[in-house]
Amino acid sequence: MTSGNNIEQEYVELNTKNEWQILYQKIRSQSQTDNMCSEAVKSENKLLNRYRDVNPYDHSRIVLKRGPTNYINANLIKVEKANRQYILTQGPLSNTYSHFWLMIWEQQCKGVVMLNKLVEKRQDKCYQYWPSKIGPEHKMQLTDVGLTVEYLEQKDYSYYLTRLLRLTDTESGNHRDILQFHYTTWPDFGVPGSPTAFLEFLRKVRDAGVLESNVGPAVVHCSAGIGRSGTFCLVDSVLILIDKYGINSVDVKEILLEMRKYRMGLIQTAEQLRFSYQAIIEGTKSGGNIDGKGENHINNVSTDASNVEDNSESEEDEVPPLPPPRLDSLPRPNGTSVDRPLPLIPNSASDHDWNYQNKDGDEENYIPSGPLPVVPGEDELSEEDELEEEDEDDARSESSLSDRSDTTNTKSSSPTELRQRNRLERKEKLEAQVRDMKRRQLVNEQWTQLKRSLYLPLVLGGTLLLGGGLIAYVYFKN
């Protein structure tokens, strides 16, 4: 292992000089760009790619052995010094999810790590490749590849889910149970809300044994299979190398460049690179507890979901920060948070998409109504390329805010300050509504008690009067 800088010192220096974007661009420029993607651009395979600029390298692509095609947009990533292998792939399309399951069967994979939601920013990011409901009656029949998928069970851990799925080969009758770990609160183009929560998720995946060398490589995917997926694999591999060689012997940049030889564009933003360092430092300081095999301590961990309700407002309620600049196309399980000398994680451009729901109020597994597109559009770009189309709208929004600020002679506020102000106003409004409801409830209770106090004497008096009248009637009649 080559000698590297102390990762924490490197982090502090980069943060002090604000050079994350510079480091990220150096990594991009030093990444190999001469690897061929000839299979991906063949006419019969173009429709099997989610994004036209994210293609698998020929030398490391997964080759399917049966079915209608041998092509899938997936690469085998090897980090030999860490004894790790991952299959990084795009979120399946409606015309490729059977190929996805065939790959899992043929590669003898035990687990799937899903780091995106099905719909993000009102766009389809992944086809739901597992059955919609639990039970054998909802089993998926993948006739083109000779497989079936059955949904056995699900567990909810607040900011991520685990699903148990049974994959069966219809010809031989053999089956294999697959664990899916679905991180539901990692925003598009952003980072998780806390390194501690992310590390707990990573520990859960490790404890399940799906990353070990004695089973097939774990399948890791987001939408394009490069940004969030690359971040997950980099943190996992570097923590293993630090445990093996020491923190002063691991170069994060070198490891990422090595991983980029197998699949293009791993880690898409400088913010994701910065978070990788934060998670690595936090994981190192936890004393190796990320590998604990004991009880699940997730209920004690400060999770991403703690701020979900506060971030559930629609995108139109506030102005998001500008996305990262786009330069060129892609060539302790005890659950306590530790006070680390690390700067706060910046607010992500997608923090408010965590709880996105469609207009009918469905949850994150919602599949848009109407027929799903079978293939991506000709102009569909990867997540990174989509940023270019958002730049003008974001710039106009900031310009509009500046104009309104000049007109009213008020001090201009940053998007973060505006977000905090909007939240405070909503909180105060909600508190006022709660106080009013309590006041109305108290008035109603008092009025009810008053009616009862008036009603009881009337009932007693009426009863006595009626009884006396009956007695007098009987007496005089006789």
> Which of 37, 109, 126, 222 is an active site residue?
222
> Are 46 and 140 part of one and the same domain?
yes
> Are 340 and 430 part of one and the same domain?
no
> Are 115 and 213 part of one and the same domain?
yes
394 inside domain:
no
Residue-level pLDDT at 32: 74
> Are 176 and 295 part of one and the same domain?
yes
Angle, alpha carbons 14-239-305 (nearest 5°)? 80
Q: What is the DSSP letter of 109?
A: B
Q: State how many domains the chain has.
A: 2
27 inside domain:
yes
Residue-level pLDDT at 475: 61
CA dist 277 and 235 (Å) reads 8
Domain carrying residue 435: 413-478
399 inside domain:
no
> Are 24 and 137 part of one and the same domain?
yes
> Are 445 and 345 part of one and the same domain?
no
> Are 420 and 375 part of one and the same domain?
no
Residue 153 region by backbone torsions, left for phi larger than 0, else alpha for psi between -120 and 50, else beta: beta
Residue-level pLDDT at 83: 95
Q: What is the DSSP letter of 91?
A: P
145 inside domain:
yes
Q: What strand order describes the sheet that includes 175-183?
A: 61-63, 71-79, 84-89, 218-221, 111-114, 175-183, 160-169, 147-156, 140-142
> Are 211 and 260 part of one and the same domain?
yes
Last residue of a domain, one of 388, 404, 422: 388
- Say whether 222 is catalytic: yes
> Are 364 and 465 part of one and the same domain?
no
> Are 26 and 82 part of one and the same domain?
yes
pTM, to two decimals: 0.65
213 inside domain:
yes
**pLDDT by residue, tens only, the chain of 478 residues:** 444 568 999 999 999 999 999 999 999 999 977 889 999 999 999 999 999 999 999 999 999 999 999 999 999 999 999 999 999 999 999 999 999 999 999 999 999 999 999 999 889 999 999 999 999 999 999 999 999 999 999 999 989 999 999 999 999 999 999 999 999 999 877 789 889 999 999 999 999 999 999 999 999 999 999 999 999 999 999 999 999 999 889 999 999 999 999 999 999 999 999 999 999 999 998 755 576 443 333 333 333 443 433 333 333 334 444 444 444 434 444 444 444 444 444 444 333 333 334 444 444 344 443 334 444 444 455 544 554 444 445 545 455 544 544 444 444 456 777 878 888 888 888 888 888 888 888 887 777 777 777 666 665 666 666 666 666 666 665 5
407 inside domain:
no
Helices (H), 82-226: 97-106, 195-207
438 inside domain:
yes
CATH number at residue 132: 3.90.190.10
- Which residues lie across from 404 on neighbouring strands? none
> Are 383 and 424 part of one and the same domain?
no
Residue-level pLDDT at 459: 57
371 inside domain:
yes
> Are 420 and 333 part of one and the same domain?
no
